[in-house]
Chain A
Amino acid sequence: MSEREIMEYDVIIVGAGPAGLACAIRLKQLDVINSTNHSICIIEKAAEIGAHSLSGAVIEPQPLDDLLPGWRDNPPSMCIPAGEDVFLLLSKTGSRKLPTPPQGKNHGNFIVSLGALCAWMAPQAEALGVDIFPGYAASAIHYLADGAVGGVIIGDMGVAEDGSHKPTFVEGIEIHAPLTVLSEGCRGHLSKQLIEKFALDKGCDPQTYGIGTKELWRVAPGKSQPGKIQHSIGWPLDNKTYGGSFIYHLDNDRVAVGFVSGLDYQDPNFQPWEAFQQFKNHPDIKPLFEGGEILSAGARAIVEGGYQSLPTTQMPGAILIGDAAGTLNVPKIKGVHQAIRGGMLAAEHLSETDGSQGFDKKLRASPIMAELKKVRNIRPGFHRGLWAGLFNAAWETISLGYSPWTLKNRSDHTALKKLNDYTSPERNWIKRDLAPRDRLASVYFATTAHDEDQPVHLKVADTNICITQCTEEYGNPCTRFCPANVYEIVADEAGKRLQINAANCVHCKTCDIKDPYQIINWVTPEGGSGPNYQNL
C-alpha cells in the first residue's frame, strides 16, 4: 500500500454532534480571547451534519446560553418552548396520570431536533474557522511510535464488497494532531477500541445502554399541542424490562414519538422495535396519530451507565467527551446539555494545557459529574423490576442522591437469558395498523443508503456460532433487537446461514452492544453512508 496522504491539525474532533461542535466552537472563542490559534477539524461520517443525530429531544438551555449567548434570537429551525408535562402509567387498555417526577419537569426547556440543532451549530463553528468534513468516516486510530494516539485514519472509498478496488477507489488520508477528541456518541467504534486498548474502564462498572426508536409525524390538523411533553412507563413492557415512551408536540402539526427499552432486558424473545409500535397503537395513544402521516424514523443506542460506568476519559493524545464517554442523565432522559458542557470543558482544558493530561480530573470535579452522581442509583434500581425501581427512584430523589451506597451496573449482553432458562411473559401484544407496517418499512423512513458493493461493515467474528450455538441457546436475538432488520437467518440449499443486510443499517450500534457472544463488531462503512435523518 502506498503512503497515505497526511493532513495536520492541532485538534481533531471525531463526530459532529453537540459535544464535538461545542468543543470546537468554545476552543475558537477562547482563541479569540487569548490571542491563540488552534487549527481544528471535525470528521463526520454522515453525508450531512445532523443526518446521523437522533434524540428526543428536550434540552436544558443553560449550556447553550453559556456557549452561544444570544442564541435565542436566532434559534435552530425546530425549537419549541416546553409546555405542559404529562407522566403516564399505561396498562394494556388504559392509562393513569402519575405525578411528574422532579427530574421530568421541563419548564424553561426546549423541544428540539438534535439533527437540526447540529446542522445549526455547524455553520457557527465554520464561521469561527473550524474545518468540518461531513461524509468522511474516521475508520481507525493513527498511533504514534510510543503508543499514544496521534490522529485518525479516514476510511478508503470505492472498495468493492470483495475488498478489491473499484475504478473510483480513493485511499483515505491520515489526519495527524497532538490531540484527538472523540465525540462519536454512544458506543463510538473508535472509542470502544481505545477504552479497551488503554483499559479506560478499569475500576468502573460496565457501561450500560438502551435502544431508542423514534418517529416524526405530521398529525391531523389541530391534534398537536405545541410544547406538550408526555412520557409513559408500563405497557407494552413487562415489569422486568426497563423503558418507556416519549411524545413531544412540535409546531406545524408535527409530533415526535419514541420509545426507549433498556438493553439490560433478559427476555431473549423481546423485540424493542415492536414494543415501540405496540405503544403507538395503545388505545389512549393511537388517536393522536390516526389520520396523520409518518415523516421520518430512526433508532440509536443510548448510553445509560452514568456515574459508576464512566470510564477514564483521557489517554495519551486523546480524550472522550459526550455520549462517547457516557455523560447522559438517564432520569432526566437528557444528554445534550451534558454533551455541550463536556465539549466546552474539553475546550477550556485544551486552551490551558494543549494536552489530554488532567482532563479526567477536571471532568470529575465539574457540574457534569455532580449531576450524574446525584442520580447514580436511579437507573440500576430498576434491575429488580419496575415497582422496586420506582420506589428506589423516589427515595433517591427525596434524599438528593446522598445515599451512602452506589448501586452496581452490569453489562447488557450478560443480562440476556438463554431460552431454556427463561419463560417469556405473555405479552398479549395487539394487532396494529398504524404505519410503518414492519421494520423494513421503517428503514424506508430513515432513508438509509449504503452502496451495496462495499465490504459488510458489521463484522461477525464467527458465523458458525450463529446457526449452531446461538440458534439453540438464544434463538438468534439479533434478528429481533436490530431495529432495521439487518440480521436474518435464511435457509437455502447449503443449509441455514446468517444473512447480514448491511445496507439497511441505521448505525444505532445495538448489535455491537447486545449480542450475547460479543462477536458482532460494528465498523464504519464508506463515508457518507447510513441514514439521512431529517429533523430527528
Chain B
Amino acid sequence: MKILVGIKRVVDFNVRVRVKPDGSGVDTDGAKMSINPFDEIALEEALRLREAGIASEVIVISIGDSSCQQQLRTGLAMGADRAIQVDTDIHLQPLAAARTMLAVIETEQPGLVILGKQAIDDDNNQTGQMLAALWNRPQATFASKVVVAGDTATVTREVDAGLETIEVDLPAVITTDLRLNTPRFVKLPDIMKAKRKPLEVIAFTELAVSNDNNIQIDHYAPPAVREKGIMVDSAAALVTELKSRGLL
C-alpha cells in the first residue's frame, strides 16, 4: 500500500508572526520556515505504518514554489521514499489544494492519504475534508490513534466530548491531531541520503486544476493590544475606579 502525505511549508511555530504594516499579509522576511507540525505527525504515522510492514511506500507531496523543496527534503530525510512538488507561485486556498491533491491521487492511486488536520498558518482545517468529498472516499479527522488491518483503518478521533473510535474502509483520508505521535529527529546521515531520493516537480498548470478563489481576503490585522492596567492600593480605591468606569 502506498501512503500519500501532504506537507505544507509554514512559518515555524516558535516564530512570532507579525502582520505587515499595510495589512496585506504576514511578514515572513527572515522567518524560520518549517513543515507544518500536524503534517510532520502525519508523516511520522505513515513511516511507522511502513516500518510495521503495512505500507510499502511513503510519498510526501507539497504545493508551492521551489522553496518548499526544503521541507520535502526534510520529509525525505525523516524517511519518506520519494517526494512530489506541485510547482506554483500562487497561494492556493483549501479547495484548490484539495483538487490538486486529487489530481495527484488519480495518478498515484494511494491506499491511504494522511494530512495534518490543519496548517498552523491559516488554521483552515478544510483540505482533508474537502479532499475526501471530492475523492468520494471516507474520512477520519483529528486522529489520535490509527490501526490499519486489511482494508480498514480503525481511527480514534479527538472530539469535543472525548474520544470517538470509527472504522473506515480504505482508501481513505486521515487527518492527524497533536497526540497521535511524536515525530522523530532526523539523523544527520539521512540528510545526505535524502539528497539522492527522487523529488518530482509537476507544474501546477499541467494538472488542469481550477483555482477559483472562493474566499477573498480583505486584510490582515493583529489582535487588539490589551490596555495597560493600573495598580490600586486598597479595596476602596478599586471600588472607586470600577465605579468611575461604570462597571459597578
Contacts and interface: CB of A to CB of B under 8 A. Distances in A.
Interface of A: 5, 7, 47-48, 50-51, 77-78, 113, 115-116, 119, 131, 133, 135-136, 154, 157-158, 167-168, 170, 172-173, 175, 218, 253, 295-296, 444-445, 447, 449, 532, 534-535
A7 B15 contact: no
B188 interface: yes
B182 A168 contact: yes
Interface residues of B, number: 20
A170 B30 contact: no
A47 B188 contact: no
A295 B14 contact: no
B187 interface: yes
Contacts of B186: 135
A131 to B, nearest CB: 7
B32 A535 contact: no
Contacts of B179: none
Nearest to A51: B32
Interface string B177-193: 00000111111110110
B91 interface: no
A367 B241 CA distance: 68
Nearest to B34: A47
Contacts of B57: none
A78 B185 CA distance: 32
Contact of B18 (A119, A168, A295): A295
A532 B185 contact: no
A154 to B, nearest CB: 6
B187 A170 contact: yes
Interface of B: 12, 14-16, 18, 21, 29-32, 182-189, 191-192
B12 A47 contact: yes
Given A218-B21, A253-B21, A170 B16 contact: no
Q: What are the 5 closest A-B residue pairs judged by CB atoms, nearest first? A: A157-B185, A535-B30, A534-B30, A449-B14, A170-B185
A172 B187 CA distance: 8
Given A78-B30, A168-B183, 10 more contacts: A5-B189, A7-B189, A47-B32, A115-B30, A170-B184, A295-B18, A444-B16, A447-B15, A532-B12, A532-B15
A520 B187 CA distance: 30
A449 B184 CA distance: 18
Contact of B30 (A113, A167, A218): A113
B185 to A, nearest CB: 4
A534 B189 contact: no
Contact of B187 (A50, A173, A218, A535): A173
A534 B15 contact: yes
A51 B32 CA distance: 8
A532 B14 contact: yes
A167 B182 contact: yes
A532 B32 contact: yes
Contacts of A170: 184-185, 187
A119 B30 CA distance: 8
Nearest to B183: A168
A160 to B, nearest CB: 13
A154 B21 CA distance: 42
A168 B189 contact: no
Nearest to B74: A135
B32 A154 contact: no
A116 B189 contact: no
Given A444-B16, A447-B14, A532-B14, A154 B188 contact: yes
A358 to B, nearest CB: 31
B32 A136 contact: no
